[in-house]
Structure 1
């Protein structure tokens, strides 16, 4: 028995730790689509920490409220009880302007009328960019208790809370903590 523990003990301990982490705490996810461009791109691989709580600007995985069989990756914008407004591409929460630095790259391209070039891979996206007057359409929503308001970073083409509604706590699957693929774009998210 001592020989078995000596030879296999460390391996079995590491294997058990990996299984416990995977089952109870961590989930690998693949990005599908372009709603989080340029922050996250189609095909990238992420690791999420399982949770049903989120803070403002966390990137989360969630079940889409209009189709619970679909998993989406979005950014938390509005927390329970808040009034979230967008007017002329300025986010306001409970009457206070809130900067969105993660949008700067695409906002700059949009302002210079160059975002359609980024969308060369999809003619429908190009047409949207060419005809849009704002990067994010104006809206006002009051977030119900125990729910979140989420948006994709690529606001012109993202299907998010503006379309499928608020996200219940129970629909939140996890918080993105690490992009591990492609290796040259590895990043830890706070």
Structure 2
């Protein structure tokens, strides 16, 4: 009886160690939970929302990503990818133009409704904000959904792909907002 108990304990210990190693590998290389701080992505994501990011996603235009803050050490930002390498970006009369084509931004609708002027994004061009006419290779142009209150590429410039931690794939808190990001 004692021998069986000892074997069972060793089996449980091995299983526990394997589970810990798998969890570590998954968190380091595949996905990770992140807490949102600040209002720059409101109403899409609010302060203290909890999300899961994928560290293996291929970043595409309009994805929401988490990246190392370029202006504050050991901090992370959550923003929406607006420009990919090779893109020219401009906003005129609150309309986003990428490579000369106008894009609708439905994630801004709620903020536009409550904005006193119904306008969220001041006119600008990538050239004015970064000194470059197109997003360079290995770089991204990002903006927050709360355009009136977002420190983003309009302020700190382009970010490198190397600074991207992952793409937001799932919100798990608050409970009434559980699900895939909009």
| 1:78 Cα deviation after fit | 0.5
Which structure 1 segments of 5+ residues have no match?
114-131
RMSD: 2.2
In structure 2, stretches of 5+ residues that fail to align are: 1-5, 127-133
Contact 1:52–1:170, Cα closer than 8 Å, also in 2: no
How far did 1:12 drift? 4.3
Highest Rg: 1 or 2? 2
Higher relative contact order (CA 8 A, sep 6+): 1
- Structure 1 residue matching 2:52: 3-state secondary structure: strand
Q: Distance in 1 between matches of 2:8 and 2:71?
A: 56
Select 2:22's aligned residue among 11, 17, 20.
Answer: 17
TM-score, scaled relative to structure 1? 0.80
Q: So what's the TM-score if we normalise by structure 2?
A: 0.83
CA distance in 2, matches of 1:164, 1:65: 7
Q: Report deviation, 1:6.
A: 5.1
Q: 1: distance between equivalents of 2:74 and 2:151?
A: 15
Offset at residue 139 of structure 1 (A): 0.9
Structure 2 counterparts to residues 22-61 of structure 1, below 5 A: 22-51=27-56, 53-61=58-66
Q: How many residues align?
A: 170
Which residue in 1 is equivalent to 2:159? 167
Cα deviation 1:76-102 (Å, max 9, x = unaligned): 000011001111111111011111111
Q: Which of 116, 120, 134 is equivalent to 1:135?
A: 120
